[in-house]
Amino acid sequence: MTATTSAVGARLPRLEAAGKINGAARYTDDLARPFMLHGAILGSPFPHARILSYDTSKAKEFPGVEAVITAEDFPYLPLGAIVKDETILARDKVRYVGEPVAAVAAVDRQTALEALKLIDIEYDELPAVLDAEQALAADAPLIHENLASYFKIFDCRCGGNVLSEQSIAEGDVEAAFATCDVIVEGEYRTQAQAHAYLEPCGALAEVDDRDKITIWSSHQSINRVQANVSEALGIPMTQIRVITPRVGGGFGGKMEATVQPLAAALARKTKKPVKIVLSREDDFAMMRTRHPTRVWMRTGAMRDGTIVAREAKLLYDGGAYSDDSPGVLAFGLYMARGPYRIPNFRATGQLVYTNKLRSSGFRGFGNPQVTFAGETQIDELAERLAIDPIELRLRNAIRKGDKWVGGQTVTSCGLAECLTRVRERSDWHARRNAAGRSIEGRRKGIGVTALAHICGVLGTSAIIRLAEDGSIVLNTGSVDIGQGADTVLAQLCAESLQVDVSRINVVAPDTDATPYNWGTGASRVTYMAGRAVAGAATALKQKIFEHAAAMLECSTQDLTLAPGGIVAVAGTDRKVSFFDVSLRSHYGVGGPPIGEHAFVYDGEPFDPKRSTMVGFPFSNLGVHMFGAQVVEVEVDEDTGKVTPLAAWLSHDVGRAINPLAVEGQIQGGFVQGLGYALCEELVWDDGRLTNPTMMDYKIPGTLDVPLAIETIIVEEPEPSGPFGAKGVGEPGIIGAAPSVANAVASAVGVRIHQIPLTPERVFDAIARS
Amino acid sequence: MSTITIKVNGRPRKIAIEGGETLLEVLRVQLGLTGAKRGCNQGVCGSCTVLIDGRAARACLHLAGLAEHADIVTVEGLASDGELSPMQQAFVDAGAVQCGFCMPGMVIAATALVAENPKPNDEEIREGLAGNLCRCSGYVKVVEAIRQAVHSKGTAP
């Protein structure tokens, strides 16, 4: 490939694609160590119960078992990204069905599973709280009696079963609603969606001769794993090394600890390597879900379509433990205004504990829920105003230079272009006019969503160095969970240094080798790690230039990079190669060149004079990404089945560093969103998950997805981004549900305020109308 | 415990059988062929798909003891002399590979589909891959890859 001068923008397949398609790629469960044991975890049978006693004697005596652990084997060491409310094995109480209560290490997996059955735990069952509304009732059982005393990294305003209460307000909402010609109001509900990464959670831990633990695991952040294991086991980070094999998807579910602390605890106890890989059923039951929500919202506009006010009340079901939840609620509030110029806005949110699986970050981080509400409501408003839905969105669309909720300036914005592009590519007006006609009991419809998200947050760093042979070593600590970070960061590095991508050694994230990166989440790797790479490459270039200037007897000002790792005196044929510089620096003078750059997201902070933000855990968030998605569906009136026929997905990514990877993120996100819109739902019965299998929890397959999915990349450069780039990891999922719901409404004339739009729900809604 | 011989990727391999082992366990644990993945162990996700006598099959649902005399091809057996098969190469070139966990099963299913139906149309491609779940790609580039593989002239995938 001709990447030397155009690595940025190249449609480069994943660097590791060949190894993933020929079976050579090693994921956690593909790894083994000498004398390795296998771990298994016993889950709670009750949604809420007091633990009275343990009897692990039979399990310990079972042939082949080497260790059995419960909370009694540990001091109280609570975990939690924001509120420390959880322990790696349930302590005193269990709070959801499936919560880990004991773990076994044995010579093989089958023996470990057999031994679990021999563990006898006596429980005293307690009344359980099974939904968010019930959690708020005055007489609701308390899930965390000691909530007030838990350590919290910020004041999340908790009490009772409420884990956090937050709000954002700007302008004068009451006064603005009083002036509105049209007000629409409604309540919208969204369900629990499982991450359903194809690779179940797993970890392999081994203790060395200095008692240092090495962990290979399926994760999104080596640093979060290290921090969690350190907290859970009460050992310093110096004694924990986390290494990244290939990771089979994460989507938010592998950001915080999964089974790493238990694997580490068993390895410490047995002094042997221990691998735990969850069964699919255990992964569903023990790990994480997207927050089920109830969102009440009203939006008011003038007759000309100018939206002047919006109010929202969010209720997020956090499940039994807090995980990322206070951040997810905050982000839901932050996105609830939608990508519009609405001067008067107020959103209040409650996050509650229930006796169910913990909710967590999941692609979109609280945004798909409020965008389902908000974008359904914009369509309802368009109907009342008799204005075309895309036209109404365009009239109110936020633009570059406008302020987002909280006062941050929108520094780049391709929203209007995204909307006009999907309108044109979908032949919107023709399809809209044809919507609703019944042909043999089937009606087509088309719907749109305008969406926004952020990329940014927290800290990251990069170290780039010149190797002895003149090649480049790129260290960022950014975990590629399948989204293509390794390739994209290599492309950014290649472009910055004018070398071929093949000359870059992308170092696998390893806490002993790579610098700090908070993690792969918040659509942040291209933008944040990309900025770190660009900064480190600039620093390295300067060092290389200093050597080259001495070698060429000129000033660094006279030098320029030429493709292929060449430093030339501009306008002459005098040049040296990176290899020449490497020899001089490694063996002669100066020392091996290293460039580094580290920063914490440095965007504009929230403006307290503009916005009243209460209980908000962030002081800033990131830069804004935009998109518009149009979906055409067909609704079968006899069965209620909704079939997506085509989609047009336009996303403003700033600059597509790798358009092939960008398309993959948009398409993949959107299809996860189709699952969210149409079929995916974790269902509990009396506190027990009824569908913890791939058979019963259906994610979209090839037959559920339209082949006509067109991706339209809009490039409105972000001034702070590397080569103008922003993120793209999450936005694809956000528009699917409201677009489908809006399309269903245009097909059959009924508004359904609850997803998934199952055949039953759609059929009932049509029958009632 | 008994020892039987199965043919994997063209080579006879001796395996030890106690009784209940699935073909997937034997491939992964005894033979070190970890390309086939355990995604659900229930025959739903397709990550463990291998060829048994030329047909795509779920290794997690097959008892290894019943595979004697069968001709098994895993993803490790698709490439020859280190060269990816045309189908594998098409997956790479089309950008179909993301996290990659489903990919060994996916490319085996695609290989089996094209062996049976050398020029599948889009609908046939979708049906041929209906039993292989992918959570990353949204399938658009997977279908594109197979389309490219079957339309690249003269090469048998």
Task: State chain A's mean pLDDT as an integer.
Answer: 97
Is the CB of A280 less than 8 angstroms away from the CB of B40?
Answer: yes
Pure H helices in A553-690? 578-583, 659-678
Using the Cβ of A703 and the Cβ atoms of chain B, whether some distance falls under 8 Å is answered with yes
Whether B81 maps to a domain, the answer reads no
- B48 Cα to chain A: minimum distance (Å): 11
Backbone angles phi, psi at A244, to 5 degrees: -110, 110
Burial of A572 (0-12, 13-18, 19+ CB in 10 A): exposed
Backbone φ, ψ for residue A334 (5° rounding): -65, -30
**CA of B95: which chain A residue's CA is closest?**
A13
Q: Is A25 left (phi over 0), alpha (psi -120 to 50) or beta?
A: beta
**Which pLDDT band, with edges at 50, 70 and 90, does B154 fall under?**
low
Whether A31-126+201-277 and A3-24+458-600 are alike in CATH topology: the answer is: no
Does ipTM surpass 0.90 in this model? yes
Contact A668 B98 (CB under 8 A): yes
Rg (CA), chain B: 15
- Which of A342, A351, A287 has the alpha carbon at shortest distance from A317? A351
The most distant pair of C-alpha atoms in chain A lies apart, rounded to whole Å, by 84
Judgement on whether residues B64 and B92 belong to the same structural domain of the protein: no
Q: In this predicted model, what pLDDT tens digit does every residue of A192-237 receive, in sequence order?
A: 999 999 999 999 999 999 999 999 999 999 999 999 999 999 999 9
CA distance A332 to A345: 14
Q: How far apart are CA A468 and CA A115, in angstroms?
A: 53
Main-chain dihedrals φ then ψ at residue A573, nearest 5 degrees: -100, 15
**Cβ–Cβ contact B132 with A under 8 A:** yes
Question: What pLDDT is attached to residue A4?
Answer: 44
Contacts with B, A 250-289, CB within 8 Å: 251, 277, 279-280
CA torsion, points B113, B118, B123, B125, in degrees to nearest 10?
A: 40
Report CA-CA distances (Å) from A392 to A416, A583, A607, B147.
Answer: 11, 63, 29, 40
In this structure, the answer to whether residues B12 and B67 fall within a common structural domain is yes
Residue A742 Cα distances to A20, A630, A748, angstroms: 38, 9, 10
pLDDT, one tens digit per residue, over A701-736 is 999 999 899 999 999 999 999 999 999 999 999 999
| Partner-chain residue, chosen from B42, B102, B125, that has the shortest CB–CB distance to A280 | B42
Contacts of B34 in chain A (CB under 8 A): 23, 26, 29-30
Give yes or no for residue B6 having a pLDDT over 60. yes
How far apart CA A366 and CA A314 sit, in angstroms, is: 10
For residue A556, how many other CB atoms are within 10 A of its CB? 17
Residues of A in contact with B41 (CB under 8 A): 279-280
- For the record, the structure tokens of A218 come out as 């399926």
C-alpha dihedral sign at B134, B136, B140, B143: negative
**Domain residues of chain A, as ranges?**
3-24+458-600, 31-126+201-277, 293-456+606-768
Interface of A with B in 146-185 (CB under 8 A): none
Q: Mean of the pLDDT values across residues A396-415?
A: 97
pLDDT band at A1 (very low <50, low <70, confident <90, very high): very low
CATH for A31-126+201-277, among 3.20.20.80, 3.40.50.620, 3.40.50.300, 3.90.1170.50?
A: 3.90.1170.50
Predicted confidence band at A3 (pLDDT cuts at 50, 70, 90)? very low
- With vertex at residue B150, the alpha carbon angle to CA B146 and CA B154, rounded to the nearest 5 degrees, is 150
pLDDT tens digit sequence for A253-293: 999 999 999 999 999 999 999 999 999 999 999 999 999 99
What whole-number distance in Å separates Cα of residue A565 and Cα of residue A510? 27
Note the pLDDT tens digit of each residue in A427-482. Answer: 999 999 999 999 999 999 999 999 999 999 999 999 999 999 999 999 999 999 99
pLDDT band of A2, cuts 50, 70, 90: very low
C-alpha–C-alpha distance, residues A382 and A379, integer Å: 5
Quote the minimal CA–CA distance from A693 to chain B in Å: 7
Q: How confident is the model at residue A5 (pLDDT cuts 50, 70, 90)?
A: low
Cβ within 8 Å, pair B40-A693? yes
Question: What ranges in A253-366 are assigned the alpha helix state H?
Answer: 260-270, 280-286, 325-335
Using an 8 Å Cβ cutoff, are A283 and A198 in contact? Answer: no
Please indicate, yes or no, whether residues B40 and B95 belong to a single structural domain of this protein: no
Do strands A37-43 and A274-277 pair parallel, antiparallel, or not at all (unpaired)? parallel
Distance from CA of A58 to the nearest CA of B (A): 25
Fold of the A293-456+606-768 domain: Aldehyde Oxidoreductase; domain 4 (3.30.365)
CB nearest A702 (choices: B84, B100, B139)? B139
> Is there a contact between B84 and A22 if contact means CB atoms under 8 Å apart?
yes
Note whether residue B30 is domain-resident: yes
Cα A49 to Cα A128: distance, rounded to the nearest angstrom: 8
B25 interface with A at CB cutoff 8 Å = no
Q: Are residues B26 and B90 in the same domain?
A: no
- Identify the H or E element spanning A140: none
For residue B57, is it within any domain? Answer: yes
Q: Quick check: is B156 in a domain?
A: no
With a cut of 60, say whether residue A73 has pLDDT above it. Answer: yes
Query: CA-to-CA distance for A22 and B33, rounded, in angstroms?
Result: 11
pLDDT tens sequence across B9-32: 999 999 999 888 999 999 999 999
Q: Is the pLDDT of residue B155 over 60?
A: no
Are B103 and B62 in a shared domain?
no
Q: Which among B37, B92, B139 has the least Cβ separation from residue A17?
A: B92
Asked if residue A527 lies in contact with residue A455, where contact means CB atoms within 8 angstroms, the answer is yes
Instruction: With beta carbons under 8 A apart, name residues in chain B contacting A482.
Output: 98-101, 136
Fold of the domain built from segment(s) A3-24+458-600: Aldehyde Oxidoreductase; domain 4 (3.30.365)
Considering just the CA atoms, what is the radius of gyration of chain A in Å?
27
Asked if residue A497 has pLDDT above 80, the reply is yes
CB contact under 8 A, A21 and B102: no
CATH number of the domain encompassing residue B13: 3.10.20.30
Q: Is B131 on the interface with A (CB under 8 A)?
A: yes
Q: How far is residue A233's CA from residue A235's CA, in Å, rounded to a whole number?
A: 6
Whichever domain contains B93, its CATH number is 1.10.150.120
Q: Do the Cβ atoms of B50 and B74 come closer than 8 Å?
A: yes
User: Count of CB atoms within 10 A of residue A727's CB?
Assistant: 28
Q: Looking up tokens 């336009």, which residue turns up?
A: A650
CB A730 within 8 A of CB A363: yes
**Which domain-ending residue is among B76, B109, B129?**
B76
Give yes or no: residues B7 and B57 share one domain: yes
Under an 8 A CB cutoff, do A27 and B28 touch? no
Looking at the partner chain, which of B126, B130, B141 has a beta carbon nearest the beta carbon of A667? B141
For residues B139 and B109, give the distance between their C-alpha atoms in angstroms, rounded to a whole number: 14
Same domain, B40 and B104: no
Print the SS3 string covering chain B.
CEEEEEEECCEEEEEEECCCCEHHHHHHHHCCCCCCCCCCCCCCCCCCEEEECCEEEECCCCEHHHHCCCEEECHHHCCECCECCHHHHHHHHCCCCCCCCCHHHHHHHHHHHHHHCCCCCHHHHHHHCCCCCCCCCCCHHHHHHHHHHHHCCCCCC
SS3 assignment, position A159:
strand
pLDDT digits (tens, 9 = 90+) for B31-76: 999 999 999 999 999 999 999 999 999 999 999 999 998 999 999 9
**B62 & B96 share domain:** no
Q: Name, in order, each residue with C-beta under 8 angstroms of A608's C-beta and a sequence gap of 6 or more.
A: none
Within this chain, do residues B52 and B27 fall inside the same structural domain, yes or no? Answer: yes
Number of domains chain B is built from: 2
Q: Which residue of A has its CA nearest to B124?
A: A703
Chain A stretch 334-363, residues whose beta carbon is closer than 8 A to a beta carbon of chain B: none
- What per-residue confidence (pLDDT) applies to B82? 87
Interface membership of A730 toward B (CB under 8 Å):
no
Write out the residue range of the structural domain in which residue B30 sits: 2-76
Q: For residue B69, what pLDDT is reported? A: 87
Contact A694 B42 (CB under 8 A): yes
A157 exposed, middle or buried (CB, 10 Å; 0-12, 13-18, 19+)? middle
Give the chain A residue nearest B99 (alpha carbons): A482
Residues of A in contact with B113 (CB under 8 A): none
> Could you read off the pLDDT of A356-393 as tens digits, one per residue?
999 999 999 999 999 999 999 999 999 999 999 999 99
Give yes or no for A683 touching B (CB within 8 A). no
Note whether residue B37 is domain-resident.
yes
Is the same domain home to B104 and B54? no
**Is B35 in CB contact (< 8 Å) with chain A?**
yes
Of residues A25, A482, A707, nearest to B136 (C-beta): A482
Asked whether the beta carbons of A89 and A8 are under 8 A apart, the reply is: no
* Residue of B38, B76, B98 for testing the chain A interface, max A β-carbons within 10 Å: B98
B39, B97, B130 ranked by CB distance to A21: nearest: B97
* Closest residue in chain A to residue B122, using alpha carbons only: A707
pTM, 2 dp: 0.97
Q: Does B107 touch chain A (CB under 8 A)?
A: yes
What's the token pair of residue A414?
A: 């391709």
Provide the CA A105 distance to its chain's centre, in angstroms.
32
CB contacts, 8 Å: B133 with chain A: 198, 694, 699, 701
